[in-house]
């Protein structure tokens, strides 16, 4: 019988073990997409409790607790940190076959050297043991990152966000680099109720009024310059789908003026505006040598009652079922035709589209950059063993796994970095099995170099951060 979460977890062949221990496990981490608060890194925050570090903003855990029948008071409500932790401990034993079961116990082991399975009987003891460890300087935010050999984190930042925290981080000379990622979703959400309020906040930051689409694009340019100055080299966007509509800069200029005058745009008008502005932004990314990321396929905030009660983005999102490929093709082809298609990473949330995404991206590699078009790692509901394996298989079958820029956390938690280990173990397990079967040459030096590239070197070359 194989022991749970043993040192050879997911490593079922000798080749898998050699690949992981001699190669993958030694690589630093470039976490090029996450939602960590930059202010916590700048201040080197120390958490008072494991609940703060583990349960704040963690939609995965919140969804599991709701499914288990835990009252919302112990999830996003006013219960104490200890009460919330104890309720989470009630749920953990029943998360088997959900990735939370593995993640929870990997994190307890890697950060706190706790090998016990978390359950109600030992929850109070583990709560206080974790809190004691978190009080040590080695377990501040930056200490937690250093323990996992994190070299770069890329936070997710609105164009209207201050970059003062990133400036402070860069000035400290610490070994961990935190760079901002340009997330302009609010710039083109022309139909949102608070759109004009958002424009006012952006205008205040750039120092001029935004009275036209030209002003808006100039403001975006100015904020990109600020992001670039503090090390930002990539953008990120969240869409249900890229829309298959006719782009029109003149129509978008007219609509922008009408919206400022009080008009409510139709869905079709909003789609034209979004895609037109997105194309213009993407040209700017290409000009700066940035990479662009697109997260496609989520349908968000589905529970109207809970959104009214506790707000948006609180764990009521799902995999959507949208027509993705026609709009994606038009967008990529438009930029490629003018020679302004930046390095691009596309993340898919519906696994039925894996092969379609992988093959569509392959159409736009042009020999200018190794791995220019990336089918991104298993994202959100798919960053578990089955989802990651399917993504790796689709990428391998339809493209070049050897050029893949690897895993990311997409997390709000400083305790989430064992997910890189999770991915690396799966990767080495898959490749090692095929070495055993004679599908891949039994040459550890050759295959190990490819594994190291996927885990670290490909991302370092692709993003070209100034570290």
DSSP collapsed to 3 states, the chain: CCCCCCCCCCCCCHHHHHHHHHCHHHCCEEECCCCCCHHHHHHCCCCCCHHHHHCCCCHHHHHHHHHCCCCHHHCCCCCCHHHHHHHHHHHHHHCCCCHHHHHHHHHHHHHHCCCCCCCHHHHHHHHHHHHHHHCCHHHCHHHHHHHCCEEEEEEEECCCCCCHHHHHHHHHCCCCEEEEEECCHHHCCCCCCCHHHHHHHHHHHHCCCCCCHHHHHHHHHHHHHHHHHCCCCEEEEEECCCCCCCCCHHHHHHHHHHHHCCCCCCHHHHHHHHHHHHHHHHHHHHHHCCEEEEEECEECCCCHHHHHHHCCCCCCCEECCCCCHHHHHHHHHHHHHCCCCCEEEEEECCHHHHHHHHHHHHCCCCCCCCCCEEECCCCHHHCCHHHHHHHHHHHHHHCCHHHCCCCCCCCCCCCCCHHHHHHHHHHHHHHHHHHHCCCCCCCHHHHHHHHHHHHHHHHHHHHCCCC
Whether the full predicted model's pTM is greater than 0.85, yes or no, is yes
pLDDT one digit per residue (tens) for the chain, 467 residues: 789 999 999 999 999 999 999 999 999 999 999 999 999 999 999 999 999 999 998 999 999 999 999 999 999 999 999 999 999 999 999 999 999 999 999 999 999 999 999 999 999 999 999 999 999 999 999 999 999 999 999 999 999 999 999 999 988 777 899 999 999 999 999 999 999 999 999 999 999 999 999 999 999 999 999 999 999 999 999 999 999 999 999 999 999 999 999 999 999 999 999 999 999 999 999 999 999 999 999 999 999 999 999 999 899 999 999 999 999 999 999 999 999 999 999 999 999 999 999 999 999 999 999 999 999 999 999 999 999 999 999 999 999 999 999 999 999 999 999 999 999 999 999 999 999 999 999 999 999 999 999 999 999 999 989 87
């Amino acid at each position: 019988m194989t022991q749970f979460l043993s040192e050879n977890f997911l490593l079922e062949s000798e080749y898998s073990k050699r690949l992981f221990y001699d190669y993958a496990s030694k690589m630093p981490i470039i976490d090029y997409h996450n939602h960590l608060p930059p202010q916590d890194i700048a201040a080197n925050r120390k958490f008072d409790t494991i609940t703060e570090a583990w349960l704040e903003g963690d939609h995965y855990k919140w969804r599991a607790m709701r499914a288990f029948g835990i009252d919302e008071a112990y999830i996003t409500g006013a219960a104490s940190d200890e009460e919330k932790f104890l309720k989470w401990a009630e749920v953990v034993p029943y998360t088997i076959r959900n990735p939370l079961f593995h993640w929870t116990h990997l994190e307890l082991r890697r950060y706190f050297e706790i090998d016990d399975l978390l359950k109600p009987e030992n929850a109070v003891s583990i709560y206080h043991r974790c809190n004691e460890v978190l009080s040590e300087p080695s377990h501040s935010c930056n200490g937690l990152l250093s323990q996992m050999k994190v070299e770069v984190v890329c936070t997710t930042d609105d164009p209207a966000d201050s970059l003062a925290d990133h400036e402070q981080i860069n000035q400290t000379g610490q070994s961990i680099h935190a760079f901002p990622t340009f997330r302009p979703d609010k710039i083109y959400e022309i139909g949102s109720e608070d759109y004009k309020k958002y424009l006012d906040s952006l205008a205040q930051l750039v120092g001029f009024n935004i009275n036209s689409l030209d002003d808006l694009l100039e403001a975006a340019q100015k904020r990109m310059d600020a992001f670039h100055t503090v090390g930002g080299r990539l953008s990120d966007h969240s869409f249900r789908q890229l829309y298959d509509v006719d782009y029109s800069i003149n129509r978008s200029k007219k609509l922008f003026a009408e919206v400022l005058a009080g008009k409510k745009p139709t869905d079709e008008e909003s789609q034209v505006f979004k895609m037109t502005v997105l194309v213009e932004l993407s040209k700017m990314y290409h000009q700066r040598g940035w990479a662009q990321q697109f997260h496609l396929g989520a349908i968000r905030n589905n529970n109207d009652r809970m959104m009214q009660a506790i707000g948006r983005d609180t764990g009521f999102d799902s995999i959507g079922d949208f027509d993705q490929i026609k709009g994606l093709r038009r967008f990529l082809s438009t930029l490629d035709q003018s020679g302004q298609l930046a390095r691009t990473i596309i993340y898919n949330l519906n696994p039925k589209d894996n092969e379609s995404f992988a093959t569509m991206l392959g159409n736009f590699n042009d020999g200018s950059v190794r791995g220019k078009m990336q089918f991104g790692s298993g994202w959100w509901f798919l960053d578990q063993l089955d989802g990651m394996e399917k993504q790796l298989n689709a990428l391998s079958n339809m493209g070049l796994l050897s050029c893949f820029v690897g895993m990311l956390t997409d997390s709000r938690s400083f305790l989430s970095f064992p997910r890189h280990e999770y991915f690396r173990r799966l990767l080495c397990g898959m490749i090692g099995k095929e070495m055993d079967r004679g599908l891949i040459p039994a040459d550890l030096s050759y295959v190990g170099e490819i594994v190291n590239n996927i885990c670290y070197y490909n991302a370092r070359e692709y993003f070209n951060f100034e570290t």
